[in-house]
């Protein structure tokens, strides 16, 4: 089983055991704030403190996980088509996410903002 399929299966299993009444509470603004710290840390503009490292880890983990799930989703859902090139770095995705959130404050959930950013930035060529 390839990596994307494993992530998709794991995500489905995790979601299957989460109570239906629990919704996402991570705001796009909060995630963008953590991602700004991640970019600053990756680019050496802030110290590698415990707090900065935690923020960076949250952002990097979220972006990588959401990106993997999006690729699996694009393979199996007809209406959701994104074509993120293999060359797209996590750092570039973080930058695009921050820019999208800044430009589109009406999307308040991190997951919605991330998915819409992918659709906007990486549409599949027909």
Whether 11 is covered by a domain: the verdict is: no
Whether 17 is covered by a domain: the verdict is: no
Q: Could you read off the pLDDT of 47-79 as tens digits, one per residue?
A: 999 999 999 999 999 999 988 888 888 788 887
Number of domains into which the chain is organized: 1
Q: pLDDT higher for 77 or 4?
A: 77
Whether 9 is covered by a domain: the verdict is: no
Whether 74 is covered by a domain: the verdict is: yes
pLDDT at residue 18, as a whole number: 47
- Of all residues in the chain, the percent with pLDDT exceeding 70 is 80
Whether 2 is covered by a domain: the verdict is: no
pTM: 0.77
Whether 109 is covered by a domain: the verdict is: yes
Whether 3 is covered by a domain: the verdict is: no
| DSSP string for the chain | --HHHHHHHHHHHHHHTS-TT-----BHHHHHHHHHHHHHHHTTSS---HHHHHHHHHHHHHHHHHHHHHHHHHHH-TT--B---TT--HHHHHHHHHHHHHH-TT--BHHHHHHHHHHHHSBPP-
Q: What range defines the domain where residue 55 resides?
A: 25-121
């Amino acid at each position: 089983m390839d990596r994307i399929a494993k992530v998709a299966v794991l995500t489905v299993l995790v979601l299957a055991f989460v109570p239906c009444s629990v919704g996402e509470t991570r705001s796009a603004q909060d995630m963008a704030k953590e991602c700004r710290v991640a970019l600053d840390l990756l680019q050496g503009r802030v110290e590698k403190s415990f707090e900065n490292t935690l923020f960076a880890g949250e952002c990097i983990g979220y972006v990588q996980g959401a990106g993997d799930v999006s690729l699996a989703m694009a393979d199996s859902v007809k209406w959701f088509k994104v074509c993120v090139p293999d060359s797209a770095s996590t750092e570039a995705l973080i930058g695009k996410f921050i820019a999208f959130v800044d430009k589109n404050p009406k999307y308040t959930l991190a997951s919605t903002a991330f998915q819409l950013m992918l659709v906007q930035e990486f549409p599949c060529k027909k």
